Amino acid sequence: MKLLSGHEVIPVEGAERERQVKHFEAYAPGLIRLMPGRWLMHAVYQEYADKIYSFKYKKGDVTVMTWPKCGTTWMQETVWTMMKNPNLNNPDAQLPLCVRAPFIELDVFSPPPDPGEVAPSNAHISATLKRLHPDEALGDAVHVQYAALCPSPRVIKTHLPFSLMSPAILDESKVVYVARNPKDVVVSYHHHSKIVKGHDFVGTLEEFVQYFVDDDLMYGPYWLHLKEALERRNHPNLHFMFFEDMKANPLEELKKLDAFLRTNLSEEQLGAIAKYTSFEQMKTRGVTPILNFERSGAKVDVLNEDIAQKEGGFLRKGKTGDWKNKLTPELEAEVDKWIQKNLNDLDITFRY
Ligand code: PPS
């Protein structure tokens, strides 16, 4: 099967599938590779891929694009606040993040249990859709449909690389791309894959690191994702930034974002937004990457609660350099070797 993006869909089979399902118990329904690129996705992605690729962006829309665990949620909240809540008094700020800033490929992680049905974890999105657009029949890609119906300017989240998104995205709208030190990414993604039932990772950190350096994690490969963004770095509608810079000096980064987004905020407003979007304040408000189930009161079972209680939830630590507490010297050497091999062709350096 060929996607509109030109990628060939190759089912993951045999020993590779067995290995993945042994370590990621939630991948039993099937995985696919998209060629070229070897992008790894849930098999169900092929049902949504063309809708995502054909999505019509409008002037003013901003997509926050990152590889998983590079700071999407932080930047979604920051960009949404700068654009829609600059004085921190918009009551819509209480709504779950994915209602305010749709996660365009979230259908892949919450497909309908049966045709015509809505996954319980999508109930709030379909309810919002029905409330705002009572005459609109619900389609099978609820999140794409919801994103399409949200009024512009929209803030949209994706972890997909440029090559799987509309080729017009940068000409018709803006993209904020966030890169993060891969050592912190692998530690954060390991935690995420254990707590989120959509992955259900049951292996060791050593095994997880091996998946990372072999480009075998969901949404992989990390370097190609980054490379596709760096190739577009000079496009005026792309803002490329680092998690580490945002952590070290949020006000400076917000000033750059302000110029990019043309939000024209004062230093005082930006300072207040930097505090409002700090790790501590976002954690207190319960702003999570996927859904605010706790706050919406929905009983949806997406987290392995015991692990989340013991080791932290979605907003785990929010630090730079936490890998130093997690990676053994052997694992660090393994990741360093992989970084050296791949950084050679890219004109960037990572802090920490
Ligand atoms: S996801 O699930 O892939 O969308 O995750 P993503 O949002 O991209 O990245 C999650 C990591 O970002 C941290 N985070 C923050 N750090 C600092 N400040 C703020 N405000 C903030 N918000 C989220 C989050 O804690 C994850 O990193 P780790 O290292 O696991 O704490």
Question: Which of 158, 180, 185, 188 to mutate for ligand 1's pocket (most ligand atoms within 8 Å of CB)?
Answer: 188
Collapsing DSSP states into helix, strand and coil, what is residue 215? coil
Of residues 64, 68, 67, 70, the one with CA closest to residue 318:
70
- Return the percentage of the chain with pLDDT > 70, whole number: 97
Quote the pLDDT of residue 124: 81
HSE on the CB side for 126, CA within 13 Å?
18
Question: Can you name the residues that pair with 158 across neighbouring β-strands?
Answer: 65
Ligand 1, residues at Cβ distance < 6 Å: 66, 68-74, 184, 188, 191-192, 277-279, 282, 289, 315-318, 322
* DSSP reduced 3-state for 220: coil
Q: What is the pLDDT of residues 336-347, one digit of tens each?
A: 999 999 988 788
Query: Taking residues 151-162, what's their average pLDDT?
Result: 97
For strands 155-158 and 174-179, give the pairing: unpaired
In this prediction the pTM is 0.96
Measured CA distances, 169 to 12, 46, 166 (Å): 29, 20, 5
Task: Give me the pLDDT at residue 113, please.
Answer: 78
161 Cβ contact list (under 8 Å, min separation 6): 37, 39, 65, 224, 225, 228, 229
Round to whole Å and give the CA distance between 283 and 214: 33
> Exposed, middle or buried, 185 (CB in 10 Å: 0-12/13-18/19+)?
buried
Looking at per-residue confidence, does 203 or 132 come out higher?
A: 203
Q: How far is the CA of 74 from the centre of ligand 1 (A)?
A: 6
Token pair, residue 340, equals: 């050296």
pLDDT at 294 (0 to 100): 47
pLDDT at 290: 62
Q: What is the mean pLDDT of residues 12-38?
A: 97
Q: List the one residue out of 55, 46, 81 whose CA is nearest residue 261.
A: 81
Rounded to 10°, the helix 72-84/267-276 angle is 140
- 200 conformational bin, left if phi > 0, alpha if psi -120 to 50, beta if neither: left
- What pLDDT score was predicted for residue 291? 61
pLDDT digits (tens, 9 = 90+) for 56-101: 999 999 999 999 999 999 999 999 999 999 999 999 999 889 899 9
Lowest mean pLDDT among 115-124, 156-165, 339-348: 115-124
Here the tokens at position 133 are 């657009």
Percent of the chain at pLDDT > 90 equals 77
CB 316, CB 188: distance < 8 Å:
yes
Give pLDDT tens digits for 261-289: 999 999 999 999 999 999 999 999 989 86
Q: Is 60 helix (H, G, I), strand (E, B) or coil?
A: coil
CA distance 313 to 304: 9
Q: Kindly list the structural domains of the chain, giving each domain's residue range(s) and its CATH number in brackets, ordered by start.
A: 8-342 (3.40.50.300)
Active site positions, annotated: 159
pLDDT for residue 229: 98
Overall average pLDDT of the 14-38 stretch: 97
Q: How many residues does the chain have?
A: 352
Mean pLDDT of 133-151: 90
Q: Does residue 126 carry a pLDDT above 90?
A: no
The pLDDT assigned to 130 comes to: 86
What's the 206 CA to ligand 1 centre distance in angstroms?
Answer: 22
Ligand 1 atom closest to the Cα of residue 76 is 7
CA pair distance 216, 306, nearest whole angstrom: 26
Torsion of CA 272, 278, 284, 288, to 10 degrees: 120
pLDDT class for 300, splitting at 50, 70, 90?
low
151 Cα–ligand 1 center, Å: 27
Give me the pLDDT at residue 62, please.
98
